[in-house]
């Protein structure tokens, strides 16, 4: 079924972490003093996105496994620096209780939230981006998701690195302008340059410009590795040595960086509600958690989304 309006695929962890660190706890608390800054900021972001992007569908992707074992098996350093001493992800103590709150409010609104065992939110977004009818707009502050951009479907990334009010609406040309490679080679680009925030070491001595130049010349990692074995391929000796030393890493890194697009997901109804699915429950939650303003703004945005 063709749609004129986009579906918004929300990288929920990206947005609620951003909300948590963007709004002081002192500015958003319940009557008994429990922080709700992440919840309030997340809902306000959704309201702004609905007002400005005019979607007719929305799905919020969740992290059911922030560090999947299959990725760690391929690359043990993957997100290793973010593992808490007692196990699990290092998450602020006052953020963790707010995630179930977000899920309760979304359920009362009628906005689906979905995750999958053994997969990250990125993988859920990747799967939805190829299975949901377009146009598709993925909302995230994670640069790994530039690889999902596809002008043919079309799939765009609304990159919120500077906040939702200043999001970058990225098609393939925007990815090329930003990273110097087409979107379908962005995973190879990330593997080469590395990403300390995800525990990806990259290739020593290969930065963004060199990575982009290599991909432009050889087409991608497969072409680069094949060229390493060809003495006529024109590598500078120092660069050839660096890439050769990184062969084992480069054999697994793309599989780690590449977002899955075949995650098993339940049947979902992504249709954007024009009114809350359970208004009485939403009112109770808004009063209990001091979220009346944010809930009202999102409800108002939903009510006018089809105008």
Task: Give tens-digit pLDDT for 232-245.
Answer: 777 777 888 899 99
State what percent of residues in the chain have pLDDT above 90: 79
Q: Is the pLDDT of residue 83 over 90?
A: no
Q: What's residue 165's pLDDT? A: 87
Task: Look at residue 90 in the predicted model and tell me its pLDDT.
Answer: 83
Binned at pLDDT 50, 70 and 90, residue 87 comes out as: confident
pLDDT digits (tens, 9 = 90+) for 143-179: 999 999 999 999 999 999 888 988 999 999 999 999 9
Is pLDDT at 270 greater than 90 in this prediction? yes
- The confidence score (pLDDT) of residue 233 equals 74
Nearest to 223 by CA among 237, 213, 238: 213
Where does residue 220 fall: left (phi above 0), alpha (psi -120 to 50 degrees), or beta otherwise?
left
The span from the CA of 288 to the CA of 30, in Å, is 7
Of the given ranges (36-50, 58-72, 202-216, 229-243), which has the lowest mean pLDDT? 229-243
| pLDDT computed for residue 307 by the predictor | 63
**Spatial separation of the C-alpha atoms in residues 123 and 62, rounded to whole Å:** 10
Q: Which residue has the higher pLDDT, 228 or 147?
A: 147
List pLDDT tens digits, range 170-219. Answer: 999 999 999 999 999 999 999 999 988 899 999 998 999 999 999 999 99
- Distance between the two ends of the chain, CA-based, in angstroms? 21
Chain centre distance of CA 66: 12
> What number is the average pLDDT over the span 105-131?
97
Q: Measuring CA to CA, which residue among 139, 168, 171, 167 is closest to residue 153?
A: 171
The DSSP call for residue 78 is T
Which whole number is the average pLDDT over 28-38? 94
- Residue 33 is predicted with a pLDDT of 92
- Residue listed under structure tokens 């502050």: 141
Q: What is the pLDDT of residue 267?
A: 92
pLDDT of residue 1: 56
pLDDT at 282: 97
For residue 2, what pLDDT is reported?
A: 60
Q: At 285, which helix (H) or strand (E)?
A: helix 279-288
Q: How do beta strands 136-140 and 7-11 pair?
A: parallel
CA atoms of 122 and 44, how far apart (whole Å): 22
pLDDT at 86 over 80: no
CA–CA dist 92, 97 (Å, integer): 10
* Res. 229: pLDDT tops 90: no
């Amino acid at each position: 079924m063709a749609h004129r309006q986009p579906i918004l695929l929300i990288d929920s962890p990206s947005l609620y972490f951003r909300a948590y660190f963007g709004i002081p706890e002192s500015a958003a608390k319940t009557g008994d003093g429990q922080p709700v800054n992440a919840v309030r900021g997340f809902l306000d972001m959704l309201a702004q996105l609905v007002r400005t992007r005019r979607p007719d569908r929305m799905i919020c992707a969740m992290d059911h496994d922030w560090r999947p074992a299959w990725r760690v098996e391929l690359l043990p350093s993957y997100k290793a620096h973010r593992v808490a001493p007692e196990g699990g992800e290092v998450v602020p103590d006052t953020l963790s209780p707010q995630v179930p709150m977000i899920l309760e409010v979304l359920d009362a609104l009628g906005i689906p939230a979905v995750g999958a065992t053994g997969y990250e939110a990125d993988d859920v977004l990747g799967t939805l981006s190829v299975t949901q009818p377009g146009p598709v707009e993925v909302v995230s502050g994670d640069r790994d998701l530039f690889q999902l951009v596809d002008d043919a479907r079309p799939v765009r990334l609304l990159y919120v690195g500077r906040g939702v009010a200043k999001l970058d609406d990225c098609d393939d040309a925007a990815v090329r302008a930003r990273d110097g490679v087409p979107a379908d080679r962005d995973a190879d680009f990330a593997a080469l340059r590395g990403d300390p925030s995800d525990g990806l070491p990259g290739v020593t001595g290969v930065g963004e410009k060199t990575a982009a130049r290599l991909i432009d010349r050889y087409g991608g990692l497969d072409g680069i590795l094949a060229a390493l074995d060809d003495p006529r391929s024109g590598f500078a000796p120092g660069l050839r040595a660096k890439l050769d030393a990184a062969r084992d890493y480069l054999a697994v890194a793309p599989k780690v960086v590449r977002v899955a697009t075949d995650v098993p997901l339940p049947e979902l109804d992504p249709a954007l509600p024009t009114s809350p699915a359970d208004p009485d429950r939403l009112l109770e939650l808004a009063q209990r958690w001091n979220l009346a303003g944010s809930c009202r703004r999102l409800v108002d945005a939903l009510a006018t989304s089809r105008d």
